[in-house]
Amino acid sequence: MTLRVLALDAALARCSAAVVADGAVVAERCEDTDRGHAALLPVMAQAVLDEAGNLPLDCVAVTVGPGSFTGIRAGLALAHGIALGLGVPVIAVTVGEALAAMLPPLPNRTLWTATDSRRDRVFLEIGDTIAAHALTALPAPTGPVAIAGDASIVVTAWLAARNYDVMLTNARLPTALAVATAAAERFAGRLPPRDAQPVYVDPPEAKLPAGGLRPPPLA
């Protein structure tokens, strides 16, 4: 079966969009940046859809986190809007799943995806578990591990300094092709289902005032 995917990613310091058909990139746009995702991604999506012509899509794939609060929401909002207009499903992909799709098989090693939380901590995605850890209090591996993600260098160094069996991979930021590849695995049932909703590890920074919201103005 040929799967035609519009893949979107704005979770980390990269913004990318691609139309992928049967594992091959038909059209792609990518820019490494840590800001402006909400403005860049719709332009990129329109460009790749125009370049792909009238190619019918089977789904829209999007990274759902962990990562930037703004980037994740921008990507999901755009994915749901396009999918609704086309009448196709949205396929959620975590950052770890996308990075895993960029790597060859790693026999006898567990893949850890380390994402910088920008709060002197990292988000570790290990299998189906995603949690925040202080850089000085990372969990102890139970066997050989491989590290991917934008915080992989510092996590690898911390583990290696403590004599754990650790391997640094070259997968740092997801590509749109990797997002499409992981989405195809989920679409085929080879990855467990996941709701197309944001993955937030930390609680939101914004809080309601102690006295609650002000009442609406009188008409």
Q: Give residue for tokens 């990129």.
A: 44
Residue intervals of the chain classified under CATH 3.30.420.40 are 4-95+174-187
Report the C-alpha gap between 205 and 217 in whole angstroms: 26
Which band of pLDDT confidence, cut at 50, 70 and 90, is reported for residue 218?
Answer: low
SS3 state of residue 145: strand
Instruction: Give the pLDDT confidence of 20-56 residue by residue, as tens digits.
Output: 999 999 999 999 998 999 999 999 999 999 999 989 9
pLDDT tens for 190-204 read 999 999 999 988 755
- pTM comes to 0.90
Q: Are 49 and 7 in contact (CB under 8 A)?
A: no
Helices assigned H by DSSP within the chain: 37-52, 69-86, 95-101, 152-161, 176-187
CATH assignment of 4-95+174-187, given 3.40.228.10, 2.60.40.10, 3.30.420.40, 3.40.50.300? 3.30.420.40
Q: Are 100 and 88 in contact (CB under 8 A)?
A: no
